[in-house]
Amino acid sequence: MGGWLDRLDSLEFGGIILSVVLQLEQVTLDSPLSAQPLLNQISFSLAPGEFVGIVGPSGAGKTSLLRLINRLQDASHGQIQVQHRPVSAWPVVSLRQQMALVLQEPKLLGMTVQEAMHYPLKLRGMAATEARKRVNHWLERLQIPRDWQGRTELELSVGQRQRVAIARALVTEPPLLLLDEPTSALDVGHGERLLACLQELATAQGMAILMANHQLDWVEQFCSRVLYLQQGKLGGDWPATVVNWHHLREAIADVERRAAAEWD
């Protein structure tokens, strides 16, 4: 493994060379239902080795943002670049080979765990022996028991399915990993182990990871940077070490309480 950094282009800012995997400039997503956009002029970039948490109240736009990057939906305005190339200029299949997206309720599409793990490697034309080695490596790394390999999603709990979906995403070792609430159905032990593994992938191997997560304690513990979304706007983009976590928790809880009170 390794080599992600070598595959990236570089940008020069004031004489300092920086690599950027992902760049959003003034990205807006209009709502089909209201005048208020679902995402409003979002700009940020992501470098190799960053593990970034997207936090914010329910409905703030976290999932919508991840969907735009992978082109499940297109932005109404602004530009998203992956590896310095607008997402609209990439053939969709090639764009999706630059990244892996794991949605909140992952599906194995009727495949067994074993088949689902091999499928993305088969699509990339990897030789069977190498693919087997790669699959075994990631099954072990995410501590997925061997006896799950013949199971389909109907024979896995939601949390188990989540772990398999993340292993399936990692098996291609993409430069960019997009995760939507990857720990929502995991117990503390598996959640912490997964996030520690992701942190190591970022810091030791240069993978860029963007993760929507409601569980602020874990974002605080494992992420290097935090994006705060509120009502579709980017309310903050901070290194995790400078965040006032107590204040941020209160701010999010306040918005969520007010939203709930509107129904009373």
Ligand X SMILES: Nc1ncnc2c1ncn2[C@@H]1O[C@H](COP(=O)(O)OP(=O)(O)OP(=O)(O)O)[C@@H](O)[C@H]1O
Q: How many CA atoms lie within 13 A of 245 on its CB side?
A: 14
Q: Does 162 bind ligand X (CB under 6 A)?
A: no
Q: What angle do CA 156, 133, 175 make, to 5 degrees?
A: 80
Q: Which is nearer to ligand X, 134 or 161 (CB)?
A: 161
Tell me how many residues contact ligand X (CB under 6 A): 13
Q: Which is nearer to ligand X, 56 or 191 (CB)?
A: 56
Q: Does 64 bind ligand X (CB under 6 A)?
A: yes
Q: How far is the CB of 31 from ligand X (least distance, A)?
A: 6
Q: Within 106-135, which residues bind ligand X (CB under 6 A)?
A: none
Q: How far is the CB of 148 from ligand X (least distance, A)?
A: 27
Residue 239: its H or E element: strand 233-239
Binding ligand X by CB under 6 A: which of 28, 30, 59, 235? 59
DSSP state of 115: H
Q: How far is the CB of 32 from ligand X (least distance, A)?
A: 5
Neighbours of 124 (CB within 10 A): 10
Query: Residue 81 pairs with which residues in a beta bridge?
Result: 23, 86
Q: Which long-range contacts (CB under 8 A, 24 or more apart) does 31-40 make?
A: 36/231, 36/232, 37/76, 37/232, 38/64, 38/232, 39/64, 39/65, 39/68, 39/75, 39/232, 40/231, 40/232, 40/233
Q: Does 244 bind ligand X (CB under 6 A)?
A: no
Q: Which is nearer to ligand X, 8 or 68 (CB)?
A: 68
Cα–Cα dist 88/189, whole Å = 40
Neighbours of 73 (CB within 10 A): 12
Q: Within 198-227, which residues bind ligand X (CB under 6 A)?
A: 212
Q: Does 58 bind ligand X (CB under 6 A)?
A: yes
Q: Which is nearer to ligand X, 144 or 195 (CB)?
A: 195
Q: How far is the CB of 213 from ligand X (least distance, A)?
A: 9
Helical spans, DSSP H, in 153-187: 158-170
Binding ligand X by CB under 6 A: which of 20, 42, 52, 60? 60
Q: Does 94 bind ligand X (CB under 6 A)?
A: no
Q: Which is nearer to ligand X, 62 or 168 (CB)?
A: 62
**Taking contact as CB under 6 A, which single stretch among the options 52-60, 132-140, 145-153, 201-209 is the one that binds ligand X?**
52-60
Tokens representing residue 204 in the block: 């030791």
Q: Does 61 bind ligand X (CB under 6 A)?
A: yes
Residue 24: its H or E element: strand 22-29
Strands (E), 84-232: 85-86, 99-102, 176-180, 208-212, 225-230
Q: Within 25-44, which residues bind ligand X (CB under 6 A)?
A: 31-33, 38
Q: How far is the CB of 73 from ligand X (least distance, A)?
A: 8
- Give residues in contact with ligand X (CB under 6 A): 31-33, 38, 56, 58-64, 212
